Structure formats: C-alpha cells, structure tokens
Amino acid sequence: MAADRKGGARHRPGRAVAYAAVGVVLLAGCASMPDSGDLRNVESTPRQDTGVRVFAMPPAEGAGPAEIMQGFLEALTSDDPSYDTARKYLSDDAARTWRPERSTTVLANGPSIETDCRAGAGQEPTDSVTCVLAGTRVATVDAQQAYQPADGSYRKKVHLTRSAKTGQWRIDGLPDGVVMGKSDFQRNYTSVDKYYFASDTTAGATGQPVAVADPVFVRSKVDAMTQMVRSLLNGPTSWLGPVVRSGFPTGTALQKDVSGLAPDDQNKLTVPLNLKASQVAPGKCTEMATQVLFTLRNLTPTLESVELEGADGRRLCDLSEERAESAAWHGSAKSPDYLYFLDDKHRLVRMPTGSTGTGALPVPGVFGESDKGLESVAVSRDEHSAAGVGDAGKSLYVTSLASGGSLGNALVTSAGPTQSDRLTTPSWDARGDLWVADRDPHHARLYVVEQGTAKAQEVAIPELSGQIKDARVAADGVRIALVVENKDGKQSLLIGRIQRDGGTGQGTSVVELRSAAPDLEQVSAMSWAGDSRLLAVGREQGGVLQMRYVQVDGSTLDGPAPGALTGVKSIAASEDERVPLVAYSEDDGIVRLPSGAQWQKVDKDGTAPVYPG
C-alpha cells in the first residue's frame, strides 16, 4: 500500500514536469522571432503619392488686378475638375465663354505677368487694365490632348475690368485654354496611351488587328480614368487619325453624368456606353473592350477585365486581360523568345531572353552557318525569318530561320561610297514588312520589302529635309522612327506616319514627320522600347552622349534613364518592358541591363544585338 502510493507519487511529478517542459518549449517558440514558416504572397501596396496639391482659393474681396491675375494663374494649377474656382476670377461673360479644355500651354518657368499690369500706375484709378502673360513656350497640349513640343516665346494679353456693380476686379478677356509652368504640368498631367487599331494592317501570322498606341495627356488627379475613356471614345488624335480606326461606332459616348469610373474589388471596370445592343456586333464589342482595356491598363496596371454596358444597362460584352491579348496584336504584350546578335565570326547567334548566362547558340539556317560578312540583322516578329545586311552594308538578304534555307539574292543593294553611307539596320513590323534605309549621300532612300519577300519599294518621304541616318519601324507598322541629319550636321529623331497606298497607286509614304526629341542634337542609336516610347542614345546641345527614353510625341518622361554606358554603338530594346536592355558598346561588346541591376557583359566580341522587330 505504502509502496503503491509512493510509486504513484513519483509518477505524477514526472508527468507534470513533462507537461511543463512541453509548455515551456511551445511558449519559447512563440516568444522568439520565427526563422521558418509558411509561404505567402505579398500584396503590393501602392506607393503613396506625395504629389503636391494646390487648393484653389476664390478671389479675395477687393483684390487688385495683379492679385487677381496671380490667383487665377494659381487656380489653373489646382485639381479643380472644371476650373470652377478659376472661373470666379473671370467676369460673368468671360466665365461663360472661356474654354479651358481647348489647350494647355506649357511654359518653361510659368507665366510671368509683365510689369505694366500694375493697376493704378497713374494717379487716377482706372477701371480697365491689360496685362500681358509672357514666358518661354515648351509645349502645347491641344484639344485632343495630344502633346506637341513647342518653342518660342509666349505672349498673351489678358484684360481686366473693375465691375461697376461690385467694384471688384475681374478678368474679362483672356485666351482659351490654360497656361502653366513645366513643373506644374508634370505634376498635374500624365501621359497615357490610348489604343486604336491600324486601319490596313493585320499581324502577319494570325491576322489579328494591330493595336496602335496614341499618347495623350490627361490631368492625373482629376478622375483620370473617366477622362481617358472619354478621350478614347472621341477618337484618335489628328496626327494618327488617318491610319487608324476605332472599334467604337461614331457618336459613341459615355452615358450622361458618368464620372468617377473605377475598378471594383475584382479589378473589373464597367463602362456604361450610350450604345444599344443592336448596334454592336460581338466582334466589334470585343474590339471596343480591347481598346478600353489596353488604354486603362496604362493607367491602372492592376485592371483585369472590362465590361461594356449598353444604354439600357444591359451588358454588351466583357473582356478579360487574357482574351484581350488574343483579340489584338499588341507590341508590348509580345515577349520575344530570343535575343539575337552577331558573334565574333559574324554568325547570327541567339540566346533565350530570360537567360542569365552568356552562352549563345547559332541560329538554324544560313545566317547561323558561316561567315556571310553580316553587319547588322533584323529578325521578324514571329522569329521565322531574318534579314541581314552584308557585304559591308551593300546588300540586304532575307532568309528563313529554319535550317536548310539559302541566302538568295540581295533584295536591296546600296551604292554608298563607304560602309556608313550604305544600308542601315533593317527592321520588321507586325505585318511582316521589312524596312530598311539606304544612306547613300546622293540618293538616300527608305525601302519597304513587303512580307520580306517582295520586291523592295521605295517609300516617299515628302517632308524629309536631310539625310536619313537610321530608320526603325514601330511594331504596329504605322509609325516609323527616323534619324535625319540636317545640312548643318545636326541630327534629329523624327516620327513619321506610314501612309500605305491602299490601292491608290501612289505608293507607301511616310508623312507628317514630327520631332520626338527636340533637344537632341545627335542620335547615334535608337530602338523602340514600348508602344509609344523609344530608347535613344543621343547628345543634347552642349551635353554628353547619353541614353534615355523619349516619348513619340516629344514629351519627356519622368522615369529614370538607364544607367550610363560609354561607347554605345547600338541598342536593342523590346516593347515588353520586362525584357532586359541590350547594348553594343565599343569597349565592352554586348552588354545587358536586367531590371534593377547594373550592366552585365554578355559577349565581348559580339556585335549588332537585336530583339525580334
């Protein structure tokens, strides 16, 4: 009995100690920071916007003309959706007739009021004063919200009167549109691509319509999404208008009083249109939704699907991101499979885009076999064929990237005296046409080889004033970037619109050239790096050679430029921003810039890197 009890007593503390030990271990686990655990996705939190906002104030009682002018100009920089506060600085008539949306004039350092505006300069008070706004023009944004670089000085007269009734100074004569400084413009406006379809171009292989980006500027803090949809519905800007079409029937608009469009919790946006269901064919509707989705994904990258709603509130169609990619050919959505370049034996070799190594394999086919003396190459967008400039720049060959092809005859030949006066690097568009320029000083020309096989046609460039130094066609096939050298040796980067003949017999032409980078004096290399963005290596007046992104409409971008690199001879970028930049530098050969890293060497002896296109 006593022994039993003793045994039991010995047992119980033992178990209690064990329990306590387990508890202590568990608690100790809770009391220290974990060094292992389950996996979880990190929800990306949007970066907080620190942007400055100006809160417009109505005019003060009894303010003088100068103060009225200052207050008005300040109110223009505010986020007032329809400039209601700014209108309070205007007389009633002027407030009715003033059209702020007509244009936005960007001045280098903001509008200054010339000194004769000071009221009461004379002894007796007057009731009428004329002020002059002056400044250095940087750009204008027109009523279609298209940006246009501008220069020259800006002088506009503004007339103020003292109202007889209230005795307050008000502006009663002023130009339409708003005017602001460059920094305010950059703060308040943002560039967004809206998308249309190339009217006579379809993607070569699949026959999909090709989406063309049309950059416009909208006020970023004033319901940008609704603004963008309205702008999209209003149609393309006039520069791009002739060569693109919109999926939306003429007269399509948002339903009345729609504002504040925003995606819901599932990242789905519903766009109420004034269309009737009978007006919309399913295919058209998909096109419309594609346009909306592509456009708004620029603004809200997380947007996943779009639903169009008819006038009666019924759903017309909806479109998810995946389906949109198949509904239209879209340059920035096509990630190239390979990076191509010429190795030390002038063979065309390739390496996978995502590879981090340096091993490259020769391509199948003629270009990869032996030394054909290739100088530069271009691989078609579908990566089935390649074009190469050989014979010291004299000849252009096109061949298949399948093994066993033959080189054939040169499609284009140049008679330039030196290698730098002969053929440029060719480029392909989505349709499958091959573009190349001949730099022959006597007869500089731009050729297009349709489908890469037909006879090369010369392309007319009526507005060209100088020598073509380089030419790159955009993926959409309706825009081409040209580097043109003036008589005085200054180079400029121009964007031209490709006008296909469309059966008129006039031939293909490039028209309405406009400057994409007005401040660059020399452009040594360039490549498309987005739907409406180019990567250019150039030199500003009095500056050094540097690499930077330029927007096709000539505006400057806020984003950071790629890291500096010396001796860049050519660069390759893809429309897809995730693909690393590749450059050929005289010092280091082919180098690569993965996102978030520094330049890395790829091949010391390689030259002429290209992505398909």
Residue 224 C-beta: closest distance to other proteins, Å: 13
Task: Give the burial class of 586: count Cβ atoms within 10 A of its Cβ; 0-12 exposed, 13-18 middle, 19 or more buried.
Answer: exposed
184 or 575: whose CB is closer to other proteins? 184
The SS3 assignment for 291 reads helix
112 or 355, CB closer to other proteins? 112
Query: Quick one: 231 or 556, whose CB is closer to other proteins?
Result: 556
User: What is the distance in angstroms between the CA of the first residue and the CA of the last residue of the chain?
Assistant: 96
For residue 261 the two structure tokens come to 């469009």
Which amino acid appears at position 289 of this protein? A
- Which residues lie below 8 Å from residue 50, measured CB to CB, with a gap of 6+? none
- CB-nearer residue toward other proteins: 19 or 55: 55
CB of 218 to other proteins, least distance (A): 17
CA gap 209, 196 in Å, rounded: 9
Q: Do the Cβ atoms of 563 and 535 come closer than 8 Å?
A: no
Q: How far is the CB of 59 from other proteins (least distance, A)?
A: 7
Q: Which residues contact 537 (CB under 8 A, 6 or more apart)?
A: 523, 524, 525, 526, 545, 546, 547, 568, 571
Contact residues: other proteins, CB under 8 A: 47-57, 59-61, 63, 66-67, 70-71, 73-75, 77-78, 108-113, 115, 136, 180-184, 187
Selection from 231, 194, 247, 198 nearest residue 532 by Cα:
194
Give me the least distance between CB of 540 and other proteins, in Å please: 13
Q: Would you say 484 or 517 has its CB closer to other proteins?
A: 517
CA distance linking residue 163 with residue 374, whole number of Å: 77
State the CB neighbour count (10 A cutoff) for residue 568: 20
Question: Of 66 and 95, which has the nearer Cβ to other proteins?
Answer: 66
Q: How far is the CB of 569 from other proteins (least distance, A)?
A: 31
User: Which helix (H) or strand (E) segment is 602 a member of?
Assistant: strand 600-603
Closest to other proteins by CB, 60 or 402: 60
- Three-state helix/strand/coil letters over 300-327: CCCCCEEEEECCCCCEEEEEEHHHHHHH
State the minimum distance, in angstroms, from the CB of residue 76 to other proteins.
9
Q: How does DSSP classify residue 433?
A: -
> Is 65 or 310 the residue whose CB approaches other proteins more closely?
65
Residue whose tokens read 């004063």: 129
* Closer of 60 and 564 to other proteins (Cβ): 60
CB of 50 to other proteins, least distance (A): 5
> 148 or 183, CB closer to other proteins?
183
- For other proteins, the closer CB: 44 or 598: 44
Provide the Cα torsion 73, 79, 84, 87; round to 10°.
10
Return d(Cα 401, Cα 366) in angstroms, integer.
Answer: 8
**What distance in Å separates the CA atoms of residue 303 and residue 318, rounded to the nearest whole number?**
13
**What's the closest the beta carbon of residue 441 comes to other proteins, in angstroms?**
38
Distance in angstroms (rounded) separating the CA atoms of residues 470 and 524: 9
- Give least dist CB 11 to other proteins, A: 22
Question: Cβ of 602: how many Cβ atoms within 10 Å?
Answer: 24
Q: How far is the CB of 90 from other proteins (least distance, A)?
A: 16
Of the candidates 547, 549, 554, the residue with the CA atom closest to the CA atom of residue 529: 549
122 burial (CB, 10 Å; 0-12 / 13-18 / 19+) is exposed
Q: 460: how many CB neighbours lie within 10 A of its CB?
A: 17
| Closest separation in Å from C-beta 7 to other proteins | 22
Closest residue by Cα to residue 398 from 389, 527, 375 = 389
Q: How far apart are CA 564 and CA 355, in angstroms?
A: 23
CB of 105 to other proteins, least distance (A): 14
Q: Which is nearer to other proteins, 115 or 595 (CB)?
A: 115
How far apart are the C-alpha atoms of 107 and 153, rounded to whole Å? 9
* Three-state secondary-structure class, residue 366: helix
Shortest spacing between CB 299 and other proteins, in angstroms: 16
SS3 65: helix
Nearer to other proteins (CB atom), residue 77 or residue 522: 77
